[in-house]
Structure 1
Amino acid sequence: MTAPAPAARAADTEQASPAGANWLRIGDEHYSAGRNDDAIAAYQCGLAAIAAAPAGSVPVETISELHSRLGNACMVRGDVEAAAVNYRAALRLVPELTSCWCNLGNIHVQTGRPQEAIAFYLQALKLNPAHWASRTNLVQALMATKQFVIAKALLQELAGERPQDSAIQHQLGKACFELDEVPSAIECFERALALNPRDADSLYWIGGIRQNLGEIEAAQKAYAQAAQIQPLIRRPAIKSPADFRVLALYAPFGGNTPTEYLFKHANYETDTLALFEQNSYDAEVFKQGVHVVVNLISDVDQAVAMLPLAADLAARLGKPIINDPRKIQRTTRDEVAERLAGIPDCRIPKILRQQAGTELSVEQLQAAFPLASSILARPVGTHGGDDFEKLDHVAELAAYLAQPAETDRYFIEYADYRSPDGYFRKYRFIFVDDQVLPYHLAIGNDWKVHHVNTDMANQKWMQNEEAAFLNDPGLVFNAAHFQALRAIQQRIGLEYFGIDCGLDTSGDLLVFEVNASMLVHDDNKQFPYKDPAVRRIKSAFDAMLAKFAGIGAA
């Protein structure tokens, strides 16, 4: 979000009380020189002096301006509550202050209320339709609330007025991408680059899009160019100064922990460093000002070549680290199954990994899973329902095994987890430091259950059951189950990761998947009851980072 929009100086300041006018001038001098705390003190002194003056002796414009300037200074400090109080005080006196309406919108965006922010931006634009800050910040709020069609239309209008503004082209590219207009998105990012050849963000976007399209060579080129221009992608804190700084290690071509929500609206600053196998990294340069390192490279099957590089850099950085790459290296599906074996009241299905280029017979597979009624099969490095099959009969096994193993693939013992009512239930917990927090429940009528592919959006009883689980997991999981979850947390040894699990027909905890790649997001318009659980995870994540950074409670 942009800095506070400046308020216009009152036309009749010279008519103000000497104390009020002087303190306003002194505060402005401090603010312009970057002495923000001194500016706040001066503006407060001015308001105190005016409060002591005879009623009506000071023009309301002067009082309003002091409140407005104090609001700006509070925003810089990161005290958004005080900023909002002063902006509202200014508007009660002079409702025509466009900048104050705009800044109230900024506060709502920064504090996670973009939908409410839109009304403030619209009020600002009602007063001044040409107010650039209100228009560009309105785009941010529209994007945050997924109103991409309106955001795109406004961006096209802005681009027509300022065709040389690369930032507008960049935002337009993001809007087009969200609308699945991929060619147009690439064109916008390329225009942004033509206007600003050092626009690393657009290059990163181009790299990501090309990667999704399978254009690996073009993606690698874009990522490499971006890293040369800007090796660190900075996400600023919502306050200044930030409480601490995080360095996040990321692999563009490997599976990573999703952090779009986790790093959002934080009191800490985040620098994300994209790692490339062919590059070298000077730890002395990248550790400057860093308090804690977070390794995001989470899928060992997708990032097997990158994890040793990340582990070496993390060791040389010498900072506290979340999810050490050396620990991630021990989280393949088959190794996790071995490490979790033997936990009481917990069922870990057997897993066999077939190496690429090798052959495996039906008889060998049946011997590996002598009690399995069915066998699940999937290529390594895949998640969700991608290329995930259930093989129930010998003929199906034979047909699958007849396909050449071009990549490694997993074979997993199937365990029945159908509930007595005929539905399948898959639960997700997120482990954060020493906490085990519920994230969601997916209920479906097929063994392959994923929240987005269920009918939960249309079934109130399913939503009620999920809400009950999120509010009190003890309604489903007993003390023995929680002891098993704690044992899993201890054996895996990561600070942040997730588990997808269920209850088998014997009532034991059934483990489907354990890794640090699981998504946590706040896009829950259809399921607003999920918000408290999601916020608890975010709060625990922030507190964990603060603890590792040596700061205390976030």
Structure 2
Amino acid sequence: MPSDAASPAEARRQIERMLAEPALSDRRTRAQAHYLLWEVCQICGDPAAALDHLAQAIALDPVQTRPRRAEAPPPERTVLALAAPGDFQANLPLAMLLDEPTLLHTLWIERPGATLPPLPPVDCVFVAMGEDSCRRALLLEADRVAGETGLPVLNSGAAIAGLSRDGVCAMLAGIEDCVVPEQNRVTAARLRHELPTFPFILRPESSHAGIGLARIDGQAGLDAYLEATAPAAALFAAPFIDYRDADGLYRKYRIAFVDRVPFPVHLAIHDDWAVWYYNARMELSAERRREEERFLRDPVAAMGPRAFAAVQALGRRIDLDYAGLDCAVLPDGRLLVFEVETAMLVHDRDPPDLFPGKAPAIARIVAAVNAMIDHRSGRMSTAA
């Protein structure tokens, strides 16, 4: 039973794990139980167990089907996502962007050239993998698999592979009012001899969500960072650009592109330069939440026409059916790009009483994704 000291959320996760594990003994439910435990173990902070459950699930059945309520009406559309094994950050959480009328299957691709299992009938294929240098072969394999289906395909594995931090820097070069800090691939050993100009940003090559991220302000900080880093470790070094506004706060905007059209997702406001939505604690400030809601209602007014025009040009330049952007607006009105990728989290699970603008904003993104799928599949949307 859950520990008496466990929080309600932790207790619920322990119960979910206890309920799912007995399903492993039933051949009919074993694969789906492993998929469920992959999710639960990540939430419980047990990544090694999570990846082990995912590997066992894929071995039993590489096609995962999102459960549907028994009383749910027939699906309006059916999508096959192509995913790579990994944690939650490895792939776009497509289930959060597809509402209940959409039946979602996920084909997990472990290695190039593997024999494909029988695939369910679907309307289109969606390459849901995120960029990572270690997944380049799988991204190209996703293109091969998608092409063999003969179905409409959303996103391109080859295009996603081009969204490395240095790849994005080169891709977006020349866009008016768009500032993309130069990204240099270095090793820890090389940094001991070739120093960028202080201050600069360091992060591991495949890092996301701030893992291993540091601002290096001087030699002492660099020595401390390198002391904890293997000499051959691959890193990205980039100049630090101070994006504080006049009130001393840092603002990070998240935008989703659906069929190249930008939609606001959230705004995180913090007094620290290293800001993410989870550490901004927006729930503690009504004033900051009101500012976020203004952004969700009217991103052009919130960001300024100069920056938003750069956002629109960026969406056209990356030319993906779905992608995400994390960015800021510099004091002079230009856009500062942090990251472009396809696996960014988009959800409406924040408390509606505190964040009343979030659900309508995400609903607009979901509707746009559904409309894009219907259009590419040659189907008429039932919402039309």
Q: TM-score range by the shorter chain?
A: 0.7 to 0.9
Partner of 1:271: 105
Partner of 2:221: 396
Given the alignment, which residue of 72, 83, 91 partners 1:250?
Answer: 83
Partner of 1:516: 342
Given the alignment, which residue of 112, 116, 134 partners 1:282?
Answer: 116
User: Between Structure 1 and Structure 2, which shows a larger proportion of strand residues?
Assistant: 2
Amino acid at match of 1:272: T
SS, match of residue 387 in structure 1: coil
Task: Flag the structure with more relative contact order, 1 or 2, with Cα contacts below 8 A and sequence separation at least 6.
Answer: 2
Q: 1:229 to 1:335 in 2, by over 3 A?
A: same
Structure 1 length as normaliser, TM-score? 0.61
Amino acid at match of 1:275: I
Q: Is structure 2 residue 55 aligned with structure 1 residue 213?
A: no
Inter-partner Cα distance in structure 1 for 2:292 and 2:14: 39
Amino acid at match of 1:384: A
Partner of 2:376: 548
Given the alignment, which residue of 377, 381, 390 partners 2:202?
Answer: 377
Partner of 2:176: 344
Amino acid at match of 2:23: A
Aligned counterparts, 1:440-455, within 5 A: 440-455=266-281
Inter-partner Cα distance in structure 1 for 2:318 and 2:153: 16
Partner of 1:364: 194
Q: Percent identity?
A: 32
Partner of 1:189: 20
Q: 1:260 to 1:177 in 2, by over 3 A?
A: farther
Aligned length: 369
Amino acid at match of 2:25: A
Q: Is structure 2 residue 361 aligned with structure 1 residue 529?
A: no
**1:318-358 deviation per Cα after TM superposition (whole angstroms, max 9, x unaligned):** 22111111111111111111111221111111111125xx7
Aligned-pair Cα RMSD in Å: 2.8
Q: Which moved more, 1:315-324 or 1:473-482?
A: 473-482
Given the alignment, which residue of 307, 310, 314 partners 1:488?
Answer: 314
SS, match of residue 341 in structure 1: coil
Alpha-carbon distance, 1:382 to partner = 1.9
Q: Which moved more, 1:196-205 or 1:293-302?
A: 196-205
Given the alignment, which residue of 256, 264, 268 partners 1:430?
Answer: 256
Partner of 2:166: 334
Q: Which runs of 5+ in 2 are unaligned?
A: none
Alpha-carbon distance, 1:425 to partner = 0.8
Inter-partner Cα distance in structure 1 for 2:349 and 2:139: 30
Q: 1:219 to 1:418 in 2, by over 3 A?
A: closer
Aligned counterparts, 1:46-445, within 5 A: 179=10, 185-196=16-27, 198-208=29-39, 213-215=46-48, 219-220=51-52, 222-235=53-66, 240-253=73-86, 255-265=90-100, 267-277=101-111, 280-282=114-116, 285-286=118-119, 289-301=121-133, 303-355=135-187, 359-362=189-192, 364-366=194-196, 370=197, 373-402=198-227, 403-405=229-231, 407-445=233-271
**1:501-540 deviation per Cα after TM superposition (whole angstroms, max 9, x unaligned):** 1112332111111111111111121312222111111111
Q: Which runs of 5+ in 1 are unaligned?
A: 1-148, 153-175
Partner of 1:56: none
State the structure with more CA Rg: 1
Amino acid at match of 1:446: D
Q: 1:215 to 1:241 in 2, by over 3 A?
A: closer
Q: 1:435 to 1:501 in 2, by over 3 A?
A: same
Inter-partner Cα distance in structure 2 for 1:319 and 1:543: 17
Contact 1:206 1:219 survives alignment (8 Å): no
Q: 1:322 to 1:278 in 2, by over 3 A?
A: closer
SS, match of residue 304 in structure 1: helix
Inter-partner Cα distance in structure 2 for 1:437 and 1:244: 23
Inter-partner Cα distance in structure 2 for 1:219 and 1:454: 29
